[in-house]
Structures are given as C-alpha cells and as structure tokens.
Amino acid sequence: MKKVGIMGGTFNPIHNGHLFLAEHAYEQAGLDYILFMPSMKPPHKADMTIVSAEHRINMVREAIKNNPHFIISDLELNRPGITYTSDTLKALKKDNPDTDYYFIVGGDSLMMIAHWMEPQTIFNLSTIIAGGREQCSQNQLEEQVKNLEDTYNGKIILLDMPLIEISSEISRDRVAKGKSIRYYVPDEVASYIKEFNLYL
C-alpha cells in the first residue's frame, strides 16, 4: 500500500507554516508523497473573501515546486459546491484502493474534527496526522486523541514538532498594511502576491 498525505486548505495564501507541517508529517509518518489540495469553498470559511482558485493554486505550485515529494492536486477545485473532506476521501479511495491516506491538520482542526461532515467516514478512510497549535496545550491534544480514538476507532498521529505560529490571516493583514511577508511565505509566493496586487 502506498502512503499518501493530504494537505488541504484554502491556501489564501499558502505560507511557511503549511510547508513546515507537511514536511514533518512526511518525515514522521514515512509518507511516499503529499498532495497539496486547495479547496474551492470550505464550509467553515463561507463568509470569508478568498482570492480566485487560479491565484491560490498558482501560489501553491510556486511554493512546492522545489520539493519532489510535494504534489499539487486540483481535485477539490474541480468539484462544485461546498468542499467536504469526507467526500474527497471517498473519491480518492474509490479511484485508488491500493493507497492509505493520511489527512494532515493543525491542532485547532483536530479539536473541531468531530463537528465536520461525516467524521466517522473521515476516520474510516484515513489516518489523521496533527501538528500542535498555540491555542491547544499538549494535554488537550492528547485528551482529544483519546476521545476520538474511543468514539470513532480513529487512527491519529501527533507530530513532534516546534510550534510555528504563522497564518494566512496574518500574512494577508501584513500585505494590506504594506508590511513585509518575508519569511512568512516562500519568496516565490511573496513575489506572486506583489505581481498580482493580491490582498491589498
């Protein structure tokens, strides 16, 4: 069985925290590669202004182009309506029954995953890999892992990694205020944002 990670998100824009989390997941879970999968319309960000799918997938492409085990996927961008992780996993497993999928999330998402659409399906079709976030203590994360394993018979890997508190929101805010986003996002992404006057 192949071991494939999924790094989903709006990537509005993709930032170095995403890449840092993905690299640790790749290394610690022994993955073959990771699919970076920009979402079209996530349910929890329905009211947020998001730049076009074309810009977001182009920024992801720029961010990961020098890493051979990071691969871009437009699966969710090509599906109409709201993007649900459970539907994505169903589609992937149907087309690739010989692959084990590992869904990569931050600690804040791990705390909320029971409220996502069809959480049992998500746990049936994937192993969850979670990195820490400043909002969640290690004890909270470990307690949540136990609850999810007991409730959904889920498989969860908690990553051992430093906290990198960079977010897309912070990056957008800095651009809007005319501040540098160097070291917040890859240089190629910063250049792309400047070229197309995004987030101003």
Among the residues of the chain, which ranges form H helices?
16-29, 53-64, 85-95, 107-112, 119-125, 138-152, 168-176, 187-195
**Domains of the chain, residue spans:** 2-165
Give the CATH number of domain 2-165; options: 3.90.470.10, 3.40.50.620, 1.20.1730.10, 3.40.50.670. Answer: 3.40.50.620
Asked if residue 47 has pLDDT above 60, the reply is: no
Q: What was the pLDDT predicted at 45?
A: 59
Residue 188 near residue 16, CB atoms below 8 Å: no
Q: What is the pLDDT of residues 133-180, one digit of tens each?
A: 666 788 899 999 999 999 999 999 999 998 888 999 999 999 999 999
Terminal alpha carbon distance of the chain: 45
187-198 in b/e burial notation, b at 16+ Cβ within 10 A?
A: ebbbebbeeeeb
What CA–CA distance (Å, rounded) separates 97 from 59? 30
Residue 117 near residue 22, CB atoms below 8 Å: no
Q: What was the pLDDT predicted at 44?
A: 61
Q: What is the pLDDT of residues 34-46, one digit of tens each?
A: 999 999 876 665 5
Q: What is the pLDDT of residues 117-140, one digit of tens each?
A: 999 999 999 999 999 766 678 889
